[in-house]
Structure 1
């Protein structure tokens, strides 16, 4: 099979990846990537079809643990292993321990606090008449929620934002490495401070104390890895959910009007936002632990597979008129939070924040409109979101 060169699509892949993925999907659901596109020197594959992506996300032959094909990455030394870098039985053990502390009940108890933070941010933002929605609202809401949930001091949050963004949308390999080093050191100190401080009512303290029936507990390295995953995944994705959602509504005035006329459509609108312009463009790499086929394409042991979530969710074989933003659509089965055993643990919290943020904003800013072009889309193939979103009301 001929390799495709993603670089040949230039800035189009960053600005409008959906058109690129549609053309690729027209040639087939699975494509081999030129090695330079991934930087690991491995044969790499990109999955762009919905059925193929859904199956691949749940296929146990595609490992998350790169060690199963004798690969080792420096960030595991700097941060530690977590749910997105291990397979069963380690994954089963880690998820079970985390699920003991990060329960649906805990998420539901956050509802009043999420609403209060939302209202406080809008109280500060709305009198100005215009703002960058990302800086003033879409970012501070989820970072405040996840930092309060985990027990991260408020004074550290601005610095944490810079470091976290650099790990998911790096501007250079050196800056990415530096961000991982600093985050690893910070989280080690935070965990040790919480150990010394004694019992506290936050998720990270609970994770430190959590013990299974057989006495199993998270190690220091596992705690650091889980804290990293919860902090990064707990806010970066939700920033983009809110930003992408508001942008989609403002650029589709008929859908915005329909939602304003019937806020009972809000839950469905958030699900359509997740399908239409979800916050994660591609899932993190999986590695073929044994030979397999995806969409009729043979993948050899040791090759890496990148599953296109954004690509899959615009597949016309799964969703009629996939490029149409329609808040009345039934978007069930979307892959914005993944599928299978690695389905996002924080999906209920992301949905709660997305619904609260978008619903409250529309109610309190009836004249909401764009105040200029959105900022650049984030670099790389992992996250999908704009750096800024100027709005007025």
Structure 2
């Protein structure tokens, strides 16, 4: 396609149709968003894997904040917004996802113990308990929103538990993250407001843990600051990243998988899943079929080079579409068919290379427990009549439902 892809309403209504057209036309395309960002979008599986490990495409704080440093603001208002952004952005993007080695290595080392196999295994009982509590409140309801009443509050509660953020803040966290998680389409005003709200939430908690540490990740981060291993900005932005990524991916994984089971004719039924106990296979195929991350965060070219016969200039921004790559027929046979018997290994749902999601094992565990509990409690669950009109959240980075109304036929 010669004209840039527009991330507009038509894209959000049916991205799969657009991705298929793009892959037919080529492996890499120009994009332009309504907030003024432009760059390159990779839709091919092999090229995606190549780009995700290319040392010439790097993560930066400016790119993470959706800032094109080549564009100079014009006018008093634009310059004022740029100055405010320059002050607030580092408090939200000074984390490992916006860094390359050696900073990335240093920051990941602090977090890794909390996402080790042992640490994840110790979370299984709390996750089951939180899931049971949510399901208990749903049993007597004839209808409920499987996303906002279950798939969203469960991972928000879990990541709040890990960090030590009070559970009464989880609704606030969810609202803020909707803006901060997608800089490609968010306006500067929205980003600024959400950034200030997140800082106002986190700074008092960090100060409290510095004085009175507890057995949580937030306390460990405060200790790392005292040791000189992390700055206050890095702690604030790391906690913000974990709060956002820690629930967005899992919320979408649960919601997208449930949609496939209840609505997609190629998906298995609840009865079939319960009988075969193939929840893990269901999750892996769901990660490929409807990945919770639609695309990566922005990367920036450090030098001019050629990528698939296209000239990438220094400073150009690059997005990798994980959703399109996972539907590339050159990698996966009949990719638009949901098949839990297929070998889904190699999917890019959690990225690839240095920036592969550190919380992927946690998301898989939460997804498995959440679905097992839900299917056990509601074996006859089905979509309501209004739920057939599926509404996807307008997002470039995430792929998730705005809501999913379901009917509990066993409610008394």
TM-score, normalised to structure 1's length?
Answer: 0.91
1:217/1:102 Cα in 2 relative to 1: closer, same or farther (>3 Å)?
A: farther
1:43-54 aligned at under 5 Å gives the runs: 44-54=39-49
Moved more, 243-252 or 173-182: 173-182
Are 1:3 and 1:32, in contact at CA under 8 Å, matched by a contact in 2? Answer: yes
Structure 2 distance, partners of 1:207, 1:11, is 40
The structure 2 residue matched to 1:202, chosen from 209, 216, 223, is 216
Partner Cα distance (1:208, 1:66) in 2 = 22
Instruction: Indicate which of 247, 256, 260 corresponds to 1:244.
Output: 256
- Kept in 2, the 8 Å contact 1:78–1:181? The answer is no
> In structure 2, do the counterparts of structure 1 residues 171 and 304 end up closer, same or farther at CA, with 3 Å as the change threshold?
closer
Q: Note the C-alpha offset of 1:391.
A: 0.3
1:279 is paired with a residue whose SS is coil
C-alpha distance 295-171 of structure 1, shift in aligned 2 (>3 A): closer
Indicate yes or no: 2:58 matched with 1:58: no
- Structure 1 distance, partners of 2:106, 2:303, is 23
Answer yes or no: is 1:262 the counterpart of 2:257: no
**Residue 146 of structure 2: which of 124, 130, 133 is its match?**
133
Distance in 1 separating the partners of 2:211 and 2:315: 43
Query: 1:97·1:211 contact (CA, 8 Å) conserved in 2?
Result: no
Aligned length: 384
Q: Which runs of structure 2 are paired with 1:310-329 in the superposition (5 Å)? A: 310-329=323-342
The answer to whether residue 10 in structure 2 is matched with residue 12 in structure 1 is yes
1:35-50 alignment, distance < 5 Å: 37=34, 39-40=36-37, 44-50=39-45
What is the RMSD computed on CA atoms of the aligned residues? Answer: 2.2
Q: In structure 1, how many angstroms separate the alpha carbons of the residues matched to 2:329 and 2:272?
A: 24
Residue 391 of structure 1: SS of its match in structure 2? strand
Residue in 1 aligned with 2:202?
Answer: 187
CA distance in 1, matches of 2:162, 2:319: 31
Seen in structure 2, the aligned counterparts of structure 1 residues 390 and 358 have a Cα distance that, compared at 3 Å, is same
- Measure, in 2, the Cα distance between the counterparts of 1:67 and 1:292: 21
State the Cα distance separating 1:392 from its structure 2 match. Answer: 1.1
What are the within-5 Å matches in structure 2 for residues 64-213 of structure 1? 64-65=59-60, 74=86, 75-169=88-182, 172-197=187-212, 199-210=213-224
2:310 aligned to 283, 291, 297, which one? 297
Corresponding residue number in structure 2 for 1:350 = 363
Instruction: State the 1:171 CA deviation.
Output: 6.4
Deviation at 1:112, TM superposition (A): 0.7
Give me the whole-angstrom Cα distance separating, in 1, the residues matched to 2:158 and 2:61: 32
Question: How big is each residue's C-alpha offset from its partner over 1:348-381, in whole Å with a ceiling of 9 and x where there is no partner?
Answer: 1100000111122112211011012255211131
Find the residue that maps to 2:281 and give its secondary structure: helix
Question: Post-superposition shift, 1:5?
Answer: 3.5
CA distance in structure 2 between the partners assigned to 1:391 and 1:101 by the alignment: 35
Q: Distance between the aligned counterparts of 1:147 and 1:111, measured in 2?
A: 15
SS of structure 1 residue aligned to 2:179: helix
Q: After superposition, what is the alpha-carbon deviation per residue over 1:269-309, rounded to whole angstroms, capped at 9, x for unaligned? A: 10111111111111110000112333332312111101101
- Give the equivalent residue in structure 1 for 2:298: 285
Q: Distance in 1 between matches of 2:31 and 2:142?
A: 46
Instruction: Rate the CA distance shift 1:195–1:216 in 2: closer, same or farther, 3 A.
Output: closer
Give the corresponding residue for 2:73: none
Any conservation in 1 of the 2:115–2:362 contact (CA below 8 Å)?
A: no
Contact 2:6 2:31 (C-alpha < 8 Å) held by counterparts: yes
Aligned CA distance change for structure 1 residues 167 and 61 (closer, same or farther; 3 Å)? same
**Residue 392 to residue 67, structure 1, CA distance change in 2 (3 Å):** closer
Q: Secondary structure at the match of 1:355?
A: helix
For residue 76 of structure 1, report the CA deviation from its aligned partner.
Answer: 2.5
Spell out, residue by residue over 1:326-362, the C-alpha distance to the aligned partner (whole angstroms, 9 max, x if none): 1111111111101001000100110000011112211
Is contact 1:377-1:386 (8 Å) kept? yes
Report deviation, 1:216: 4.9
| Stretches of structure 2 lacking an aligned partner (at least 5 in a row) | 71-81
Q: Measure, in 2, the Cα distance between the counterparts of 1:164 and 1:271.
A: 25
Q: Which residue of 1 aligns with 2:404?
A: 389
Instruction: Look up the SS of the partner of 1:246 in the other structure.
Output: helix
